[in-house]
Amino acid sequence: MDAGAVAAALEDARFDARQASRYEDLADDLRGPAELAEWERIDQLLAAAGPGTVYDPDVDDVVQAELADATAAAAAREAELREAVRIAARANHLQVLRDLGTLDQAEPAEGDEAVRDELTRRAGGYIQADVDAWLAHALATHRGHYRDPAAREAAAGLLAPPILAHAALLGELLRQVPGAGADELDFAARLAATEPEAVGALAAFLTRARPKGP
């Protein structure tokens, strides 16, 4: 667009703004003022560039920045959608294992903290004790992706305090009695569910009391 075309478009936008100001139902419409402001910006841009300059959105930094932002936002939405689909599929898989009574055989995977939240949401907000116990045991024994210290560290900010307290206590108890079975340690889950802070303190105390290596 040359300066004449931009000036004509600016005048049209000003006319529309004046017309809209006469109607109460259009007073809150933000599109008109935004369009007017944009034509004023482009008009000033051409005026500063000098006579004969043609407006080209491909070299307009503002337009290109807006396009880049829109592209990034679209990519973010696409990534969020893919992640939501993955979480839903993983939640379906774990639910099947729960129904079969074989959840304890599943290897925890990256993102299962969000899957736990999805299962809780599906249950109407009720805590899924078996899922929480499975995650706590995996965290305590470094199963699945919890073999990675970074994953265990990240879990501290992703899992609920009772799960973390349960895992900490389990870890210390299993160090003291390596062959202890899951049924023997059920009390740890019950304690963590009711007094997570106390259980966390107990786990820390047992860590301090652990005999030092040679």
The string of DSSP codes covering 103-150 is GGGSPP-TTHHHHHHHHHHHTTT---HHHHHHHHHHHHHT-GGGGSHH
pLDDT digits (tens, 9 = 90+) for 89-143: 999 999 999 999 999 889 999 999 999 999 999 988 887 889 999 999 999 999 9
The whole-number average pLDDT for the span 41-54 is 86
Strand, coil or helix: 200: helix
72 and 48 within one domain: no
User: Which single residue is written with the structure tokens 């105390």?
Assistant: 205
What amino acid is encoded at 139 in this protein?
L
Is pLDDT above 90 for 32?
A: no
Q: Please, which pLDDT band fits residue 25 given cuts at 50, 70 and 90?
A: low
Output the CA–CA distances (angstroms, integers) from residue 23 to 27, 29, 116, in the order listed: 7, 11, 52
Q: Is residue 61 part of a domain?
A: no
Lowest mean pLDDT among 43-52, 59-68, 105-114: 43-52
180 and 89 within one domain: yes
User: Which DSSP letter does residue 210 get?
Assistant: S
Is pLDDT above 80 for 21?
A: no
The residue among 190, 167, 184, 36 whose CA lies nearest residue 108 is 167
> In angstroms, how far is CA 183 from the centroid of its own chain?
35
Is pLDDT above 70 for 27?
A: no
Element spanning 64, H or E: helix 61-100
- CB neighbourhood size of 206 (10 A): 16
Residue bearing the bigger pLDDT, 133 or 208: 133
88 and 31 within one domain: no
The residue among 190, 203, 212, 175 whose CA lies nearest residue 132 is 190
pLDDT digits (tens, 9 = 90+) for 143-178: 999 999 999 999 999 999 999 999 999 988 888 888
122 and 33 within one domain: no
Q: Please, which pLDDT band fits residue 28 given cuts at 50, 70 and 90?
A: low
Token pair recorded at residue 51: 């006579």
Number of structural domains, the chain?
A: 2
33 and 105 within one domain: no
103 and 35 within one domain: no
User: Which single residue is written with the structure tokens 């294992």?
Assistant: 97
Q: Please, which pLDDT band fits residue 73 given cuts at 50, 70 and 90?
A: very high
31 and 118 within one domain: no
113 and 73 within one domain: yes
Strand, coil or helix: 174: helix
Residue 19 belongs to domain spanning: 3-55
**Quick one: what percent of the chain has pLDDT higher than 90?**
46
111 and 167 within one domain: yes
Burial of 153 (0-12, 13-18, 19+ CB in 10 A): exposed
Q: In terms of residues, how long is the chain?
A: 214
CA–CA separation, 56 vs 44, rounded Å?
A: 14
